[in-house]
Amino acid sequence: MPARLDGKVALITGATGGIGHATAELFAREGAGLVVTDISQDTTEKLAARLRATGAEVLAVRLDVTSPENWSEAIELTRRRFGRLDVLVNIAGVVDWPGVEETTKDGWDRVVAVNQTGTWLGMKAAMPLLRASGNASVINTSSVLGLVGSGAAAAYQATKGAVRLLTKTAAVEYATRGVRVNSVHPGVIATPMIQDLLDEQGDRQPDIARTPMRRAGSPAEVASTMLFLAGDESSFVTGTELVVDGGLTAH
C-alpha cells in the first residue's frame, strides 16, 4: 500500500515544537519530502538529521515567520530543492496569558506578529508554488481558544480567532484554484510547553477537568489530523475547522 503522502512536498513551521515535531515525523513516515523550519537553525538541523536517518528527504531552513524576507528565502529554497510545494502547515506560534488590561503593547504586538501575521505571510509567500501543484493543502493551526473565550490570554485568543477566519476566506478565494485551506484547533495537548503543569496538576488541571475525556491529547493525535488534511482523503474538505480537544468545546 503506498504511503499517504508519496510524491508530496510539505513545509512545516514550528517544526521542532511538540506538535510540529510529531507532524514532521508522521509526514516523513508517510513518504513526504519535507522542509522543516523553525526560529533556531541548530534545533532545526538536528530534527532534519533525525528524519534523514529514517530515509526521508528533508531540507532544514531557519525561518522567522514574522519576516517577509525569511519567507521568500524559505520558499525559494524549497523550489530549488524540490521544484514544488504541495502542503503548507503553519504551526509556529507563541502564547501570552494576560487578559485585556494586563496585556502590554509589546506583548500584543509579539503575539500578533507570530500567530496572525506569520500565518498570513506564509500563505502569501507559498501560494504561487501551491497553486502550481494543482492539488495543494494549507493547514493553519488555530486553537480551541480561537472558538470560545477563556477570560484570559487576550492577544492569543484574538490571533487564533483571526487565523480561523483568515483560513475561511482563503479557502473561498482558492477553492477553484487547486488549494484547499483548513484550520486545526487543538485543546489541551501535552506538549513540552505545558508538560510541567500537567505533571504537577494531572486531571485537576482546570482545562482537563472541563474536558469530557478527562485527559490531555498527545502531539501525535494532532499530527494525525494534519495528515488527513494534507492527503487526498480530504479532497472535498476546505474552509473548515477540525477540532482536536477531547470534547472540550462540545459543552
- pTM, entire model: 0.95
Cβ(208)–Cβ(214) under 8 Å?
A: yes
> Would 250 be classed as within a structural domain?
no
Range 196-215 average pLDDT: 74
Range 185-192 average pLDDT: 92
Q: Torsions phi, psi of 65, nearest 5?
A: -65, -15
Q: For residue 173, how many other CB atoms are within 10 A of its CB?
A: 14
- Percent of the chain exceeding pLDDT 90 equals 91
Residue 16: give the domain boundaries: 9-237
> Would 170 be classed as within a structural domain?
yes
- For residues 235 and 245, what is the distance between their CA atoms, to the nearest angstrom? 23
Burial of 36 (0-12, 13-18, 19+ CB in 10 A): buried
- Percent of the chain exceeding pLDDT 70 equals 94
Number of domains in the chain: 1
3-state secondary structure of 98: coil
Q: Which CATH number covers residue 80?
A: 3.40.50.720
pLDDT score of 204 more than 80: no
Tell me the residue type at 199: D
Close Cβ partners of 30 (under 8 Å, ≥ 6 residues apart):
3, 4, 5, 6, 227, 231
> Would 128 be classed as within a structural domain?
yes
> Would 4 be classed as within a structural domain?
no
Tell me which of 197 and 229 has the higher pLDDT: 229
pLDDT at position 197 is 60
> Would 245 be classed as within a structural domain?
no
Task: Give which of 30, 24, 251, 47 is closest to 139, Cα–Cα.
Answer: 24
Any catalytic annotation for residue 174?
Answer: no
Strands of the sheet with 179-186, listed across from one edge: 58-62, 33-38, 9-12, 87-90, 136-141, 179-186, 241-244
> Would 1 be classed as within a structural domain?
no
> Would 248 be classed as within a structural domain?
no
Range 56-74 average pLDDT: 98
| Per-residue pLDDT band at 194 (split at 50, 70, 90) | low
Cβ(50)–Cβ(21) under 8 Å?
A: no
Range 18-44 average pLDDT: 98
> Would 118 be classed as within a structural domain?
yes
pLDDT at position 199 is 64
Say which of 33, 156, 230, 231 is annotated catalytic.
Answer: 156
